[in-house]
Amino acid sequence: MIKVSVLYENTPGQKFDMAYYCTKHIPMVRQKLGAACKRAEIDQGLAGVQPGSKPRFIAQAHFLFDSVEAFQQAFGPHAQAIMADIPNYTTLQPIIQLNEVKM
């Protein structure tokens, strides 16, 4: 099992529309990825570890797939459309990382 994580750093002066992300972008991504995407989660940053500190990431999305190949096959044909939607909800550049799920 692999997890594709998409992270958005909490950068002052940048915009991030969580409502659009949750109600428009992620549902569109899920639809395009189809059955290859086993699960999707959205996290909204609340705080850092120190009391009163800001979160490092304002938002994160996590998608589970059976394999890297399954992700690539599902994402590849729709990459342009998915990436083209980013300016509709943020001025931030997403950080994307693939991880192997161990537990």
Looking at residue 35, what is its pLDDT?
Answer: 98
Query: Which amino acid is it at 57?
Result: F
What's the average pLDDT block by block, 10 residues per block, for the chain (103 residues)?
Answer: 98 97 98 98 97 96 98 98 98 98 93
**Architecture, CATH, for domain 2-51+69-100:** 2-Layer Sandwich (3.30)
Place of tokens 């002066």: 13
Burial 2-20 (b: 16+ CB within 10 A, else e): bbbbbbbbeeeeeebeeee
Looking at residue 41, what is its pLDDT?
Answer: 97
Q: How many CA atoms lie within 13 A of 55 on its CB side?
A: 13
